Structure 1
Amino acid sequence: MNGKKHPDTIHSPNKRARRGYQSDASFRPAIACVGIDFGTSRTGFAYAFMDRQDEIFCREPGGQEPGKTLTNLLLTRDEEFIAFGSRAREEYYEGDPSALFFENFKMLLNEVDGGSYPVVSALNGREASLRTVLAHSLKYVKDEAMATLNRCSAVEIKADQVKWVVTVPAIWSDCAKAMMRKAALDAALIKEETSQLLQLALEPEAACMVCERENVCLRAGDQFMVVDCGGGTIDITMSCVHSCNPLSLDELAAPSGGPWGSTYVDREFEKFILELLGEQAFNCSKESVVWIEVLRTWEAVKNSFDPKGLAKVAFSNLNGGVQGGMSMGTGEGASGRSGGRVINLAPLLVLNNLQLEPLVQAFNQKHPDKPLQIRMMTAVMLPNELIMSFFAPVLRNITRHISRLISSHRIDYIFVVGGFAESKVLQENLKFNFEACDRRIVVPTRPSLAVVRGAVMFQLSQGERFRSRIARFTYGCDILEPFDPFDRRHRDRKLHFKTEEGKMVPYVRIFNPLVLKGTRMSPSFEVTQAQFESVEDSQDMCDFDILASVEEEVQNIEDAKTIGSVGVKLKAGQEAALSLSFGKTEIQATAMNLTTGEKSRAVIDWGFDSV
């Protein structure tokens, strides 16, 4: 698909100089591939050597086991690195309370829209730039990966001899993906922002590389959904199998999902503690290192909780009549209170000088349907019904969203991956609601490692597995067009003037569409528009503002949001062309000076602060 040319178009004035594309400074053949699953709750990496691509190994940063560590970071008051992962939590608990402890900071990336980096609050209330936190975290994981590679290699391996893959949620904005690339540059994964040694892979797309090997005989025409259940988000992609050998897929719909990950279950637990202790004691507890110990205890309860026996009643009540699948046996205790899990509250009680018995009595009076029981004077047993209530908001959102998707697409398989997919509560909820005679729920072996293993496979796979993807937005650029009083797009618009042959000629700023929402795009999809000119004779650069809108047809430029900008050298009297490539996980831009023939791939500048 080619964009329509506008021979009379005059492009908007240059705002900022842009850097042209530069290839990797010293290209050397890659020796290894490393995939990094940088999650909201947990982080891990996997690797493979180019001469042994069938052998993919997963590692926990800071350990030797095939797992993931906590996405926790500990810095000094001066923002110097102390520790990452589980070690960061332990050192903060045992060390200096004035140190900066960060967790769940990845979720802030989905809130960025360019202009500046957001700040992230440490547990003690102090703030740091998200850019600093990301750079320290990624650098630690990179250093751990390089140390692991070099322990396994007879020759020294440098970072520029590694193909890096960093996974990102499919529902992230293009701006958030760009920030992750900048963080990889800060962490020295790559030497140049445009380096081809780094690829961003959508998490559910990476996971589907693993799912195809999970004893599922996919056939041409099969349609499947990948539900990537992480700590922060639930990411969903839907694909149709075009061919099996090699595997070739068509995207059925644009990726979707929402903020329904496991950390939102944690928030419900925190609301419970807030209600039990009171606001003052709760706030005091959260700013103390003892809060880490309570969270550790809750994490063990959450991960081990099995709703078996509660499923039929609990999930039916939870989803309020959302379509069901196979019925499950009620089992013992399905309609009654069948035990619970114990949480030790001693650290919080001592910190706030509280007695547990009156707190429990007050809570039970308000919630007679899910009463707490005191154990050993300082611990409470949470009834199963209360624990299920912590999961309820997240499960309800996930179920409703998948139901909407399935109502408009035939789905033969639902692959459930990600750290949250280890939860039996989530697994049983999905099976109860969506498993049927013509639809199978598949949870791969070690679902928490599916994304990071798939990231390596994604990079190593020969060719592009996805034949086509669907545009999530309408993309375009802003242009100045000669004012036409009969064009409804020009009415009530601010006028810009340019002197032409001694006359002041009016122009208006409008949205110029390049790709419409819902467009099916191949991996090589590229759209080009030409014959752009500079506005001012004094210009030596032409700046293109790239915009996006959730609307398929953008009537007013105010309905679109600026998501980035690119620039190309252009003198008065010269013409330029702009090409945008959308077929992969990142938008790439190429600018050409049509007069001189000079061509460069431009760096998309999202306007982030340089510090």
Structure 2
Amino acid sequence: MTTSCNNIRVVVGIDFGTTYSGFSYANVANPSKIEANDDWPERKGEFKTNTVIRYDNDLELVKWGFPALAEKSSRRRSAQSNNSSKVAELFKLHLGKVAEGDRPPLPTGLDPKKAVTDYLREIGKLIKNKVSARWPGLIFHKHVRIVLTVPVEYDEKIRAIMRQCAFDAGLILTLESENLEFTTEPEAAAIYCLENLNEHPLKVGESFMIVDCGGGTVDLTVRTLLPNTKLSELTESTGEFCGSAYIDKEFKKFLARKIGKSTLQLIEKKHYPELQYLIQHFCTNVKILFDGNEETWRSKELDLESVCPIMLQYVNGEERAALEESEWLIELDFETIKHFFDQVIAKILLLIRQQLTDSGRDISAIFMVGGFSESKYLLHRVRQEFSRQVPYIAVPSYPVASVVKGAAIYGLRMDIIKTRVLKKTYGIELYRDWTHNDPLDQKKIINSKEKILFFKRLAKKGTEVNVDQEFKNTSWPSHPTQETSIFEIYTTNAEDGNNCDEPGMKLFGKLELDLPDVNLGTNRPVEFTLTFGKMETRAIARNLTTGSSARANFKLEL
């Protein structure tokens, strides 16, 4: 990658979330003053805006953020009134490992990478305006480092897609720019908590868990506090799609039972903004307020005629008769709402329990961050389940801004992370001598010698690696006249492997290195190096005879 980081004057942290996004910024000359943006289109005073885009019929962006999402309907509005606009939300889930059937629908013809790029472009415009207004004369692509947060389940290929989207959105000047860095969402939250240790009883050598509860994902990481206010990663970070948006999904299932599944699907197709207005009404008046206390909780009523009158045009049959009898009021009692939450919280508790088991040591604290962490019921359930095992379970100040502020802190102090744990096993495909114990059909004759391809492990899953730690292997040409050396890098979730075509092996990257000086025969060593620690793994092959080198190219397909 190009080196342009010596000129960095400003750091911007971007929390590109599934349901909400935000950014923060700070000048390297005053690193203690990190500001989280709270001035958005049509909305002020909040640290985040909705991760939503509205397009016209030609898939040209019309609105983004909060203005693109919710729109109150009118009973007089015709059934065709909203066909001129298409709303895209939850499109970030299309990048993750969500089952095809569980992926949220997108407008016909919309590539999720286009939606990501369009959103980053719009939030990028706002970032550039804020930065230039605060520090006139600053050259954005030269003086600004961007730190983009991603879920822990994003592998290197998806991060490469995010880099491509950031480049296409104009956030960086070249695809290889080192002015763009990545960190995971729980890692950024851990860094934020680290900067606020004076509020919490945590000592050097103690370990703590971050549970980042967002809209789409819940991500977890266990870190150990090291001397000089640095962090090491104790266990492999984990994550699952069980954020607060899945409570909305449970509400939609409930709504489908009241108005009919086909009716809900029709309204979702024809009047998506109005349906979202209803869901936002549920979030504001029910979901956010629910505390799980049955003694004080009072049932809530949704007035469909008032909140989503367009719905009245579509409900028929038994459902219409029942709703007319109730005057279009839907009751949400305690048990119903609790069921919405419990379906999601059960998955979060399971993730926490697994991390506690994997850590193999005492955990001194659990910090709940992210927008969903402000749920009193969620905090109550976590404390109820784990308070005997973990003495300190807390929600730090400004949990909604913890990730975005932590991203900026990381950009200011990238040495704050001492180690990370590898999520996969890495290796390369090489030749070795074939033996009679090897499969006969895999034998290859190279330069009159019997050879076989095998998986050469370089780094094992679960290994705690230092930032910029290198794993090397030296090899030689297979035959004297070989003019190029091709390295194929593979990953697996297993701890090792025998060959690269066995189940679970995936091609991670590929590079090709020229091998001149054939007069030297096979005496032309090549050093292959994988460098870990930062969020983007680097792979380089170097010809030790000539000094030339090549960098791996990674596939970008979804």
Fold match, TM over 0.5? yes
Please give the per-residue CA displacement for 1:5-38, whole angstroms capped at 9, x wherever unaligned.
Answer: xxxxxxxxxxxxxxxx5445xx772221111000
**How many Å separate the matches in 2 of 1:28 and 1:65?**
34
User: Is 1:496–2:444 an aligned residue pair?
Assistant: yes
**How many Å separate the matches in 2 of 1:93 and 1:492?**
70
Query: What 5-or-longer segments of structure 2 have no aligned partner?
Result: 75-80, 519-523
TM-score of the superposition, structure 2-length normalised?
0.88
Q: 1:605 maps to which residue?
A: 554
Output aligned runs, 1:328-347, within 5 Å: 332=295, 338-346=297-305, 347=309
Code of the residue aligned with 1:477 in structure 2: it is I
Output aligned runs, 1:161-560, within 5 Å: 161-212=143-194, 213=196, 215-243=199-227, 246-289=228-271, 290-310=274-294, 332=295, 338-346=297-305, 347=309, 349-354=311-316, 358-359=321-322, 374=326, 377-407=327-357, 408-436=360-388, 439-461=391-413, 464-486=415-437, 490-491=438-439, 493-498=441-446, 500=447, 503=448, 505-533=449-477, 540=484, 542-557=485-500, 558-560=502-504
* Greater alpha carbon shift after TM alignment, 227-236 vs 213-222: 213-222
TM-score of the superposition, structure 1-length normalised?
0.81
Q: 1:32 maps to which residue?
A: 10
Structure 1 residues 560, 121: CA separation in 2 closer, same or farther (over 3 Å shift)? closer
CA contact (8 A) 2:152 2:237 kept: yes
CA contact (8 A) 1:575 1:593 kept: yes
Deviation of the 1:476 alpha carbon: 0.8
Deviation of the 1:348 alpha carbon: 5.4
Structure 1 residues 349, 185: CA separation in 2 closer, same or farther (over 3 Å shift)? closer
Q: 2:24 maps to which residue?
A: 46
CA contact (8 A) 1:250 1:469 kept: yes
Q: 1:6 maps to which residue?
A: none
Q: 1:9 maps to which residue?
A: none
**How many Å separate the matches in 1 of 2:526 and 2:548?**
10
SS of aligned partner of 1:533: coil
Match of residue 57, structure 1, among 28, 31, 35: 35
Higher relative contact order (CA 8 A, sep 6+): 1
**How many Å separate the matches in 1 of 2:244 and 2:462?**
30
Deviation of the 1:308 alpha carbon: 4.3
Match of residue 108, structure 1, among 65, 71, 94: 94
Please give the per-residue CA displacement for 1:511-558, whole angstroms capped at 9, x wherever unaligned.
Answer: 110101222211131101122437796855x33222111111223431
SS of aligned partner of 1:111: coil
CA contact (8 A) 1:120 1:127 kept: no
SS of aligned partner of 2:248: helix
SS of aligned partner of 1:287: helix
CA contact (8 A) 2:250 2:340 kept: yes
Code of the residue aligned with 1:550 in structure 2: it is N
Structure 1 residues 66, 46: CA separation in 2 closer, same or farther (over 3 Å shift)? farther
**How many Å separate the matches in 1 of 2:236 and 2:168?**
30
Residues matched between the structures, number = 533
**How many Å separate the matches in 1 of 2:213 and 2:525?**
48
Deviation of the 1:58 alpha carbon: 0.9
CA contact (8 A) 2:260 2:319 kept: no
**How many Å separate the matches in 1 of 2:337 and 2:166?**
38
Aligned-residue identity in percent:
26
* Greater alpha carbon shift after TM alignment, 435-444 vs 182-191: 435-444
Structure 1 residues 341, 497: CA separation in 2 closer, same or farther (over 3 Å shift)? farther
Deviation of the 1:239 alpha carbon: 1.3
Deviation of the 1:64 alpha carbon: 4.8
**How many Å separate the matches in 2 of 1:119 and 1:308?**
28
Output aligned runs, 1:65-144, within 5 Å: 65-90=45-70, 96-111=82-97, 125-144=107-126
Query: What 5-or-longer segments of structure 1 have no aligned partner?
Result: 1-20, 311-331, 362-372
**How many Å separate the matches in 2 of 1:409 and 1:580?**
30
Please give the per-residue CA displacement for 1:218-269, whole angstroms capped at 9, x wherever unaligned.
Answer: 21121100001111111110012222xx212222111012111111111111
Code of the residue aligned with 1:75 in structure 2: it is Y
Code of the residue aligned with 1:81 in structure 2: it is L
Code of the residue aligned with 2:549 in structure 1: it is K
SS of aligned partner of 2:251: helix
Deviation of the 1:79 alpha carbon: 2.5
User: Is 1:565–2:509 an aligned residue pair?
Assistant: yes
Please give the per-residue CA displacement for 1:412-469, whole angstroms capped at 9, x wherever unaligned.
Answer: 10000012112222122112212248611110122111000110011112x5223222
* Greater alpha carbon shift after TM alignment, 568-577 vs 76-85: 568-577
SS of aligned partner of 2:11: strand
CA contact (8 A) 2:56 2:85 kept: yes
**Aligned-pair Cα RMSD in Å:** 2.9
**How many Å separate the matches in 2 of 1:22 and 1:445?**
38
**How many Å separate the matches in 2 of 1:481 and 1:192?**
39
Code of the residue aligned with 2:503 in structure 1: it is D
CA contact (8 A) 1:174 1:563 kept: no
**How many Å separate the matches in 1 of 2:482 and 2:264?**
61
CA contact (8 A) 1:349 1:356 kept: no
CA contact (8 A) 2:371 2:400 kept: yes
Deviation of the 1:606 alpha carbon: 1.4
Q: 2:77 maps to which residue?
A: none
Code of the residue aligned with 2:241 in structure 1: it is P
Q: 1:595 maps to which residue?
A: 545
SS of aligned partner of 2:33: strand
CA contact (8 A) 2:73 2:310 kept: no
SS of aligned partner of 2:415: coil
CA contact (8 A) 1:119 1:127 kept: no
Code of the residue aligned with 1:549 in structure 2: it is T
Structure 1 residues 267, 577: CA separation in 2 closer, same or farther (over 3 Å shift)? same
Deviation of the 1:381 alpha carbon: 2.1
Q: 1:16 maps to which residue?
A: none
Deviation of the 1:159 alpha carbon: 3.0
